[in-house]
Amino acid sequence: MTSKKVVELFYDVVSPYSWLGFEIICRYRNVWNINLKFRPAFLGGIMQGAGNKPPGLVPNKFAYMTKDLHRLANYFSVPLHPPADPFEVMFQKGTLSAMRFVTAVQHMETDGDKQVEQVSRELWRRIWSEDKDVTKPECFSEAAKKAGLSDDEIEKALELSTSQEIKDKLKRSTEEALNYGAFGFPMLICHVDGKPEMFFGSDRFELMANCIGEKWLGPNPDRSASRL
């Protein structure tokens, strides 16, 4: 078997499209011959650094996005339900503290990436399925508890998330995304023949599969494979 291709996923839990992309690539990590690396970053820094405007600030784009997310949630089998006030969630509250917490969890994890995967998922679920807050320490604690972290691990991650070390680590990840050419999330970087290939959005998996020499089996590859 050829060596696994490294695939980096840059994401922020403020982005519903990132949740969709996250779940799909997680389903394919054991189907495709890839080494998946989670790269939590700050979308606000990406938008500012790239000079981009969030789709939610363009009325026609926002109207389309609302319908689009409903269709995509059904297609991808992800329990995504927009919060009552998406503007407040995305532009007033934001997720800088949440992404620092995710970064702290990843920094602490020494055996694999299961904890950062589960914590990220639970934070997305809070925002984009349960319409709950993700700005306070108690919110992070609840999400981490559901993700399977112990009380000691949660306490340590909360303390670490406010440290300069973690703030700098999240900033570096965001800067690396910008250096790859990021202008939004999710962003996937496939390392092919020594070169990074960038794919933006949650609807580029068929093209990405072609790029890395794999097959796209739809949003639920396990079900598709069982029918072959």
Which residues are known catalytic residues? 15
- Asked if 89 and 13 count as a contact pair (C-beta separation under 8 A), the reply is no
Both tokens of residue 128?
Answer: 């984009």
What are the angstrom distances between the C-alpha of 90 and each of 16, 79, 85, 114?
10, 19, 9, 26
| One-letter amino acid for residue 198 of the chain | M
Strands 34-40 and 187-192: unpaired
Structure tokens at 17: 């499209």
3-state secondary structure 130-180: CCCCCCCHHHHHHHHHHCCCCHHHHHHHHHHHCCHHHHHHHHHHHHHHHHH
CA dist 130 → 116, 125, 144 (Å): 20, 6, 15
CA distances from 88 to 43, 67, 94 (A): 16, 19, 8
